[in-house]
Amino acid sequence: MSVAAPRPVSIPPVAARRRRTDRIMRGVLLVMTLIALVPLVLVVYYLLKQGLGAISWDFFTTDPTGRFLGDPGGIRSAIIGTILIVGLATLIAVPIGIGVALYLVEYGKKSWFAQAVRYFVDVMTGVPSIVFGLFIYIVLVLTGVGGTFAGWKGSVALALLGLPIVTRSAEVVLALVPNSLREAALALGAPRWRVVFRIVLPTALPGLITGSLLAVARAAGETAPLLFTAFAVNGTTWDLGQQMNSLPIQIFNDVRQPQANIVERAWGAALTLVAMILILTLIARAIQRRSRYA
């Protein structure tokens, strides 16, 4: 260690070896962070490069023809199917998910039962999506409730997948509602259910919407649960009781075809799907940024 020039306080300079290690390791961390972003850049680049070519007015307004030669058709039925299936899944998952979160925050709190529910909700977030699909296949398709494959059965599978995500985010947001608000309402004589519906839920609303939208965005991209619940058809249907096409399934089936124009449709559908998910995510984030809590 060399003797430093006179300083006001005599702190010995950091040894060159330690300084070098510091610089190198900082560099390594930066480089690895950049590496983490490479796949994102590449995926977006290829989606735009390959997907934009496929997109046209006809692409969105025609159904897949199902022909292997000639015009493969567009993805209208897949877009409509995805919107309907995911919409119904949202209607199922969001009220139940928020209800469970309300129980945990307002009633269950730290009781053993609430802890058990919390634990299993966490466990549910880790269950692979295909297992949800299998479960719905066993419970709803094999038993033949309302026919075999149907759009609404896919919705139930996606709802199961989204439920724990909604509950976890809602619990965090509901817990952030200040207790003083609850206490003020109770002190004014409001019954518990009024406190919940007039104070707690409105206060937490932006956060609840954000969490729900993120769960919907996650569910919209899932393929595996739809494989053997909603199945796939080429034609457009508005009836959730029928078999239904969806974007992820359309992509999954198209990827495995050798024809270049079918693969091109897969890229176009993928771009459409990612754009839809991205819009949902951005809306969710925008709502989150504007809210006071969470």
- The stretch near another protein (CB under 8 A) out of 70-78, 85-93, 200-208, 217-225 is 217-225
Any contact of residue 217 with another protein (CB under 8 A)? yes
Contacts (Cβ under 8 Å, ≥6 apart) of 133: 157, 224, 225, 226, 227, 228, 229
Minimal distance, residue 6 CB to another protein, in Å: 19
Any contact of residue 17 with another protein (CB under 8 A)? no
Interacting residue with another protein among 117, 201, 209, 283 (CB under 8 A): 117
Any contact of residue 222 with another protein (CB under 8 A)? yes
Six token digits for residue 217: 């965005």
Interacting residue with another protein among 1, 32, 69, 187 (CB under 8 A): 32
Six token digits for residue 234: 């080429």
Interacting residue with another protein among 4, 48, 91, 127 (CB under 8 A): 127
Task: Please report, as residue ranges, which positions from 229 to 258 form the binding site for another protein (by CB under 8 A).
Answer: 248, 251-252, 255-256
Six token digits for residue 1: 């260690």
Any contact of residue 145 with another protein (CB under 8 A)? no
By beta-carbon proximity to another protein, the closer residue of 7 and 110 is 110
Is residue 248 classed exposed, middle or buried when 0-12, 13-18 and 19+ CB atoms within 10 A define those classes?
Answer: buried
Task: Please report, as residue ranges, which positions from 76 to 105 form the binding site for another protein (by CB under 8 A).
Answer: 96, 99-100, 102-105
Q: Which residue carries 């079918």 as its tokens?
A: 262
* Concatenated DSSP letters of 149-215: S-HHHHHHHHHHHHHHHHHHHHHHHHHTS-HHHHHHHHHTT--HHHIIIIIIHHHHHHHHHHHHHHH
Any contact of residue 75 with another protein (CB under 8 A)? no
Minimal distance, residue 96 CB to another protein, in Å: 6
By beta-carbon proximity to another protein, the closer residue of 3 and 35 is 35
Six token digits for residue 89: 């899944």
Minimal distance, residue 65 CB to another protein, in Å: 21
Contacts (Cβ under 8 Å, ≥6 apart) of 130: 224, 225, 227
Taking the C-alpha atoms of residue 249 and residue 230, their distance in angstroms, rounded to an integer, is 9
- The stretch near another protein (CB under 8 A) out of 2-10, 59-67, 123-131, 150-158 is 123-131
Any contact of residue 67 with another protein (CB under 8 A)? no
- The stretch near another protein (CB under 8 A) out of 70-78, 83-91, 112-120, 199-207 is 112-120
Task: Please report, as residue ranges, which positions from 163 to 192 form the binding site for another protein (by CB under 8 A).
Answer: 163, 167, 172, 175-176, 179, 189, 191-192
Phi, psi of 73 (to 5 degrees): 85, 180
Interacting residue with another protein among 1, 5, 9, 11 (CB under 8 A): 11
Minimal distance, residue 241 CB to another protein, in Å: 20
Interacting residue with another protein among 53, 107, 146, 202 (CB under 8 A): 107
Q: How many residues bind another protein (CB under 8 A)?
A: 94
Longest dimension (CA), the chain: 88
Any contact of residue 21 with another protein (CB under 8 A)? yes
